[in-house]
Amino acid sequence: MAAHWDFASVFANTDALLAGLAGTLRLFAICLVLGLGLGLVVGLARYAHNRWLYVPATIFVEFFRNTPVLVQILWFYFALPILLPFEISPLAAASLGISLNSAAFSAEIYRGGIQSIERGQWDGARAIGMRWGQAMRRIILPQALKRMLPALTNRAIEIFKMSTLASAVAYVELLQQGKLIASLNFNPIEAYTAIAVIFFVLLWPLVQFTYLLERRLKRDE
C-alpha cells in the first residue's frame, strides 16, 4: 500500500520545530566553543615534551575517542548524579558528552597541524630569542590554524549532527521534537523527513564553505 504524504500536521507544529531548532543551536554553540577550545589546550599538551602534560592529555584523548558519545551522554545524565550530590540537566549532560568527545578529536587535529609546521620555523623563533610559548602563539599556531581550518570546519559539522544524540536524555532539540510530532500525529515519515530537510538546509552551506576553503588553501600553497 502506497504511503500518503501529508505534511500539514508537521506544519501545524511549527512552534515545536522552532523550539527544537533553538535547542539544537544552543547546544551546538556550547559544544563548539567548549569542544574546539578544550581541544586546543589538550592538543598543545599532546605536543608538549613535558610528560606531566603529555600523559594526562593522551589518556583523555584515548578514552573519549574510543567510547561512544551516546554512552558518555547517558553516563553523565544517569551515573554522575549517583556519584555527586547534585542533579544534572539534559543540556549539561549532552554538552559534557559532546564537548569532551569533540575535544578529543579536535586535539588530534591541532596536534597534527602544529606538527606539520617546518622545523625551521621553530629554529627561527629561537634565533630571535622567543620562548616556546611565544613562538607557538606568534609564529607556529597562526600558520597551523590556516592548515587546520577545513578539518575544524568538518568537526563543527559533526558537532551539529551529534546534537541529535541529546534526544536520548529528553533534551528539547530537533530530533526530540520530531519524535514528539510523530507520536502525536502518527506521521513518522513526514516528521523525520522534515527534520532531515531542516538539517540539510542548515548544514549544506557550511559543507560548501568547507569545499571552497579547501580549494582556496590549495591555491595558496
pLDDT in tens, 44-56: 999 888 899 999 9
For residue 207, the SS3 value is helix
Residue 16, number of CB atoms within 10 A of its CB: 18
For residue 116, the SS3 value is coil
- The model's confidence at residue 3, banded by pLDDT at 50, 70 and 90, is low
Mean per-residue pLDDT of the chain: 91
pLDDT tens-digit map of 193-204: 999 999 999 999
Residue 197, number of CB atoms within 10 A of its CB: 10
CA dist., res. 106 & res. 108, Å (int): 5
Alpha helix positions (H), 48-131? 51-65, 69-74, 80-83, 90-115, 119-127
Question: Is 96 a residue whose pLDDT tops 80?
Answer: yes
Q: Which of 87, 99, 103 is nearest to 41 (CA)?
A: 103
pLDDT at 142: 86
pLDDT at 169: 96
What are 14's three cell numbers? 511549527
